[in-house]
Structure formats: C-alpha cells, structure tokens
Structure 1
C-alpha cells in the first residue's frame, strides 16, 4: 500500500499507477517477434533466389554479351518475390511494434508502482521517445533500464536523495545493452542496404545490394532473438515481484 500511495503521489496531477499483469501482452509480443524472424528467414531465402537470377544474367552478359528473354523473366519473377518478402517484413514489423509498445507502456506503469523514484523519464516518453529523431537513439534504452531496475527483486528506499550508486547500486544490464545495440545496428545497416538496393541499376550492383540486405536481415534476426529474451525476462521479473508482495489494486490474475 505504501508503494502504491507513493506512486500515485509522485505522479503529476495525482495520476494513479496500478499494477496490471504484463503476461498476456508479453506472450503476444514474443509471438509477433517470432513472426518477424520468420519473415526475415523468408527474405533471406528470397535473397538467394534473386542473387541466383542476377548471377545467371551476369554470366550471360559476360559470355554472349546479351540477356536471354528466359533469364530476364526469371529475374523479374525473382524481383517480384523479393518485393513480396519486403512487404511481409514491413507488415510483421508494424504489427510487432504496436503490440511491443503496448507491452512496454504496461511494464513502465508497473515500474512506477514498484519503484516510482527510479523512473527518470515521464510516462509519456515510454511511447513518444521511439518516434522523436535523435532522442530515439537513447531514451528508450534509458526507460528500459529504469523499468528493469524497478522490476528486480531488490527494493530501494522511496527517497529521492537515496540514489543507486556504487557496488550496491544499479547492476549492469548486458541483455538490455545487447538488444539495444543490435536494434540500432539493424536500423542503420537496414537503411544503408535499402538505399543501395534502390540505387542499384546494373546486375553487379543489384547483386551487391541484395547481399547487404541479407546481412541486414541476419542482424534483424539476432536483434529479434535478443528482444524475445528481454521481453520474456522482464515480464517474468514483474510477475514474480508482484506475486511476492502484498496484493495491490488493479493486479490481474494471469499466472506465469
């Protein structure tokens, strides 16, 4: 009760913060991240198809000096297939982002109940920080770390003057850091590879650009796996911490 009252009192304008189970949204997020991985794997396969078509065109150009109509049709089919894989990746990403942000907001509000003074960013930044240029390079990670620390089994005093520092202070965050590093790498490499693909005109350029896109897809798969681990771990941490304490208003009854 003390934690709940403090969480409510610390909110501007008396905004309440109540615990709600993150288990359902966590499972949905993990499932959609699996769909993202499946879409990336499909794109990798489609990339090998278009690379094979480009190689056939290159060999035909280097040996006979022109492209056969059959090879051109094969290349067009491969390009269409690769375009479909891109649309599937986009659809999977958009759906995952929506559910992930709902989950992220849920665990952020729960963190206010657990440890209100550990939250260095306001609740509005939980979603907004992902869409503000430059800020989105570090604010979401900062919020994730605040949530992680508040969701751990260790409690801290509800006193703004008692900060977490030193050997007994905030722990390291290898999983959060690894996930965030791979996420940023995926963003930058993906933009670089996509630009190269749209600018490619010659067969050699297309083949090289597809290789870059396939590298981006591989990075995205690793980032998605780390995101699954992050979501599962944080969701279970919050569920365990809520069940270890006294019942609080608004706690859903979903089990782990």
Structure 2
C-alpha cells in the first residue's frame, strides 16, 4: 500500500571548500622581494667592509673570548644582519602560508593523498638531507595536481638550484658563522660572501616567479567552474 512512497536517495557530499590563493600569493611575493632587497643591502655592506679594510687591531673576534670594540661600519653591519634575519623570518612565514594553501587546493582538485604529509610541509625545510629535495617535491606536486599534463615551470628548478647553493655555501640563509666571523670573512674572502649572497638574492627573485606560476596554474583551472565529483568548485579568491 506504500509502494508509491519512494525512498529518498542520499545527496552527494558537498565538495571541500578551496582555500584562498591570490591574496596569500601576493604576501609571499612581497616577502620574497623584501628578503631579496635586504640581502642585497647586506652584500653592499660587505663590499664596504672589504673596501675599508680590516683595522690594524685585527678582526672583531680576537680569539680566546676576546672581542675588540666594533667600528661604526661593523656595528651597522650587525644591524643589517638583524634586519635580514627578520626579513627572512617574515618571508618564511608567508611563503609557507601560500604553500599550505596551494597544496591543500591541489589535494582537493586531484582527489589524491599528497606524497608528503603535513609534517614534511614544514620539517622538510629544516631536517638535513631531507631538505635537499622535499620542499621542491611539495611545490612540484602541487603544480602537477593543479595543472595535470602541464610541464613544471623552469623557474622551479632554477629557484631550487639557487636555494641549494645559498643553503650549502655555509654563508647563505643557514650559515654557521656569527656576525663577527662574517665580518672577518668580508675582509679576507669577500668573493665567497658575494657568491652566496647572489645565490640567495637569485633564489628570492626566482621564488617570485615560482609563486606566480604555481598560483596562476591553480587559478587557471579554478576560474569559472571546475567539477569535483558532481559538485562545482568555484575559483579561489
């Protein structure tokens, strides 16, 4: 007697919401530009130190825990180094915010589990050996999942190569020397400092192209409407 009553079919699960990418991409670009500009200023200060020459009293670190008073130029280099550290921290924060957003969106679009877990999204930059390839892999995977069939932008490999030079040179973003030791090296081995600085600045510049390329690939596939199962996914703002 109730044959005419049909059992309602369950509705499809709503598509996961995409995270915004345009705004955070602009922040990442600004952070990279700031970091590159400050590192260029640092290189100029190192050139000034080399041109001025080491004082007759020797390097700032005299050994056995003895440090002589700094010259005004050396003191200002300490300030430049501090500003550079703050700029690098800001750059790292906004870059990881951007990377987290595009990675999550790529996971939604591809409906595939990322090759690297959330842990590696952050720790992959810090753990020795792993930091030689995992960060590049995260970005490459995000691009591939956002724009399947498209070639990886050349900027990704150029950026990563420059990043590794700055990382492994010992005087780049993760140098082991303190500021006084770097000042002493500016007096004796300026070319090594400038080579590392050039790699870091180049990585910042090419990093801007990486952010723009990966963001554009994702937005290009999102603009208008992209199907996710039976539900449309609209462009991330």
Aligned to 2:84: 89
Structure 1's 52 and 239: CA in aligned 2 closer, same or farther, altered over 3 A? Answer: same
Q: Does 1:32 align with 2:26?
A: no
Could you list the runs of 5+ residues in structure 1 that have no partner in the other structure?
Answer: 9-15, 62-71, 155-168
Q: Does 1:242 align with 2:237?
A: no
Whole-angstrom CA distance in 1 between matches of 2:97 and 2:146: 17
Cα deviation, residue 213, structure 1:
2.0
Whole-angstrom CA distance in 1 between matches of 2:188 and 2:76: 18
Cα deviation, residue 215, structure 1:
2.1
TM-score computed with the length of structure 2 as normaliser: 0.76
Deviations 1:198-237 (A, max 9, x none): 5579x7x541244422222111111101100000111111
Cα deviation, residue 250, structure 1:
8.0
TM-score computed with the length of structure 1 as normaliser: 0.70
CA RMSD after TM alignment: 3.3
Deviations 1:30-86 (A, max 9, x none): 01111111101211221122112216x47x99xxxxxxxxxx99x711111211111
Cα deviation, residue 137, structure 1:
1.5
Report matched runs for 1:1-256 at 5 Å.
17-54=16-53, 57=55, 76-117=71-112, 119-152=114-147, 154=148, 171-191=151-171, 195=177, 198-199=180-181, 206-246=186-226, 254=237
Q: Helix, strand or coil: the match of 1:91?
A: helix
Q: Do 1:53 and 1:78's aligned partners in 2 also have CA atoms closer than 8 Å?
A: no
**Structure 1 residue ranges, 4+ long, deviating more than 6 angstroms after superposition:** 247-250
Higher helix proportion: 1
Structure 1's 218 and 243: CA in aligned 2 closer, same or farther, altered over 3 A? Answer: same
Deviations 1:1-46 (A, max 9, x none): xxx96xx9xxxxxxx8531220000000101111111101211221
Whole-angstrom CA distance in 2 between matches of 1:115 and 1:200: 46
Whole-angstrom CA distance in 2 between matches of 1:199 and 1:221: 21
Structure 1's 133 and 200: CA in aligned 2 closer, same or farther, altered over 3 A? Answer: closer
Higher strand proportion: 2
Whole-angstrom CA distance in 2 between matches of 1:20 and 1:200: 42
Could you list the runs of 5+ residues in structure 2 that have no partner in the other structure?
Answer: 1-11, 59-67
Q: Do 2:32 and 2:204's aligned partners in 1 also have CA atoms closer than 8 Å?
A: yes
